[in-house]
Amino acid sequence: MGRLDGKVTIITGGSRGMGEAHARCFAAEGARVVVTDVLDGEGKAVAGVCGADAVYEPLDVTDAAAWRRVVDATMARWGRIDVLVNNAGIFRILAIADTTEDTWNRIMAVNTTGVFLGIQTVAPIMVEQGSGSIINISSIAGLRGSARSIAYSTSKWAVRGMTKCAAQELAPSGVRVNSVHPGIIDTPMAGEFDVHGIRADVDARIPIGREARPDEVSPTLLFLASDESSYCTGGEYLVDGAISA
């Protein structure tokens, strides 16, 4: 018996990296998984690996109409939504002077507005059900300042704040909202460190001595998605190898 048997889950940015790891983990624990992304080929492949109770739906998280389409399709297929993982995100290393308005707006649109739209679209269904778990992927950058990442860090602080607002508003309806704050994870997104030639320096600051594998983050999400975390809402869950300790 799986820890998520029968739970219907939507995972954004599910085609690779942490999103893929979470989709695989949830499927292995009995969940029905909706993998969403803008990378159609990769997303379909992940859904295929996850089994018969997994589907792929294209989703640009910055598009409110696309969110409604995915949610409507999920409800038509399974009649409920138990878990939303707002995982999609983008990362850029840029000095303040080099951060253009277009770059700022794009990072905020994906990392912050995308999370807001997910909560706004799914929450009414969970409220009507009287249950649900929303898991927002923030970052250690959402807990502290970080040079050369003003847009990314701001977006992740905003996710942290949204989580707490939504947790308080939705708690009376039985809907839980938590944020997860990964550290340095070995995903395609971490390639940004390679572009700037700083990956070795970044890794040297991790007390545990290495980057995390994406599947080392998934168990924290599994706990938050499951009924085991029934009294956990508004929390911040670090998975960072003590880099922010």
The pLDDT confidence band at residue 215, using thresholds 50, 70 and 90, is very high
- Give the type of residue at 188: P
CA distances from 88 to 13, 53, 157, 201 (A): 4, 21, 15, 26
In this predicted structure, the answer to whether residue 123 has a pLDDT above a threshold of 90 is yes
Model pTM above 0.75: yes
Six-digit token pair at 132? 């649900």
- The helices-and-strands tally (H runs, E runs) of the chain is 9, 7
Nearest Cα to Cα of residue 156 among 173, 134, 176, 141: 141
pLDDT of residue 194: 83
- Which residue is catalytic, options 56, 152, 231, 237? 152
Q: What percent of the chain has pLDDT over 70?
A: 100
Three-class SS state of 1: coil
- Give the type of residue at 231: Y
Q: Is 231 a catalytic residue?
A: no
pLDDT (tens digit per residue) in 103-122: 999 999 999 999 999 999 99
Tell me yes or no: is domain 8-185+215-238 CATH 3.90.550.10: no
pLDDT of residue 193: 82
Taking CA 93 as the corner, what is the angle to CA 41 and CA 85, rounded to the nearest 5 degrees? Answer: 45
At residue 57, φ and ψ (nearest 5 deg) are: -130, 125
pLDDT of residue 19: 98
Kindly list the domain boundaries of the chain, sorted by start residue: 8-185+215-238
Mean of pLDDT values over 214-240: 98
pLDDT (tens digit per residue) in 159-192: 999 999 999 999 999 999 999 999 999 998 888 8
Q: Could you tell me which residues are beta bridge partners of residue 182?
A: 239
C-alpha span between 177 and 167 (Å, rounded)? 5
C-alpha span between 39 and 178 (Å, rounded)? 26
Mean of pLDDT values over 137-163: 96
pLDDT (tens digit per residue) in 56-82: 999 999 999 999 999 999 999 999 999
pLDDT (tens digit per residue) in 16-58: 999 999 999 999 999 999 999 999 999 999 999 999 999 999 9
In this predicted structure, the answer to whether residue 146 has a pLDDT above a threshold of 90 is no
